[in-house]
Amino acid sequence: MTYRIPPRSGTAFALEKGQRLTVIDPEGEQVADLAAFSAADPREAISNGRTIDYASKLFFTTGDLIYSNRSSVMFEIVHDDVGRHDFLLTPCSAEMFRKLYGEDEPHRGCFGNLAAALEPYGIQPDQIPVAFNVFMNVPVDGKTGEIRVDPPLSKPGDTFTIEAKMDLIVGLTACSAGQSNNFTYKPIDYRIE
C-alpha cells in the first residue's frame, strides 16, 4: 500500500526494526524531510554530527548508515535512485521563511508539520533534529564553505529506501520551502514493507 503526503504537509508513523520505508517522488524535484527517533526513548534521534563523523563525508547514499546522537545505527540506506540528499540543514520553518524569504505570514513549514505529526508520540518541537532531507540538493563549495539550495535531481517515480535498525518513530514531509523544490509544491508518496 502506498500512502500520499499532500503538498506542504507531513505525517509520522512507527517503523519497526527490519521494516523498510520507501520514499517516492511521484512528480520529480520534490524534497521529503525525514526525522527519526528511537521508539524506546525519543530523546535518541538521528544526528548529522555523529553520522558525518563516522562516515567522514557529508553526502549519503546506498549502503550508508545513519547514526543517532547516542552513536547507535538508526537506519541503513538500502536503495537510492537519485544519489543526492542533504543532511546539513534544519527543516524549513515559519522563522526561516521570515528570515530568508521575507514572508510576513509564513507557512509553518516542515518544522511545524513535523512538530504537529510527532506531538502524539510525545516528541516536543525542540527535540526535532537536523532532518535527513531526502532528494534535497545542496551543493557545497569546499574552498569557501558556501552552500546553495538547488532543484532536486529526482525525476518522477524515483525512490529512496531505508531499513530500520531499531524500532523507530519516523516523521516525514512533503517539503514546504520554495527554493528546495524548484518553486512548486508537490506531494510525496511512501510505502512500508
| Residues at the interface with a copy of itself (CB under 8 A) | 43-44, 47-50, 52-54, 56-59, 69-71, 88-90, 93, 95-96, 99-100, 124, 126, 128-130, 139-148
Helix axes 94-101, 109-118, angle to 10 degrees: 180
Pick the closer one to a copy of itself by CB: 19 or 90.
90
Supply φ then ψ for residue 49, to 5 degrees: -60, -45
Pick the closer one to a copy of itself by CB: 24 or 66.
66
| Matching residue, cell 540528499 | 85
Q: Kindly state the cell numbers that stand for 147.
A: 552552500
Pick the closer one to a copy of itself by CB: 74 or 128.
128
Question: How many Å from the N-terminal Cα to the C-terminal Cα in the chain?
Answer: 9
Which residues lie across from 163 on neighbouring strands?
A: 20, 76
As a whole number of angstroms, the distance between CA 44 and CA 55 comes to 19
Pick the closer one to a copy of itself by CB: 1 or 143.
143
Half-sphere exposure of 47 (CA within 13 A, CB side): 18
Cβ 180 to a copy of itself, closest distance in Å?
Answer: 11
Cβ 146 to a copy of itself, closest distance in Å?
Answer: 5
Cβ 45 to a copy of itself, closest distance in Å?
Answer: 8
Cβ 85 to a copy of itself, closest distance in Å?
Answer: 11
Cβ 72 to a copy of itself, closest distance in Å?
Answer: 9
Pick the closer one to a copy of itself by CB: 23 or 130.
130
Pick the closer one to a copy of itself by CB: 6 or 125.
125
Q: What is the DSSP letter of 14?
A: E
| Matching residue, cell 552513536 | 71
Cβ 106 to a copy of itself, closest distance in Å?
Answer: 11
As a whole number of angstroms, the distance between CA 111 and CA 70 comes to 23
Contact 173, 113 (CB under 8 A): yes
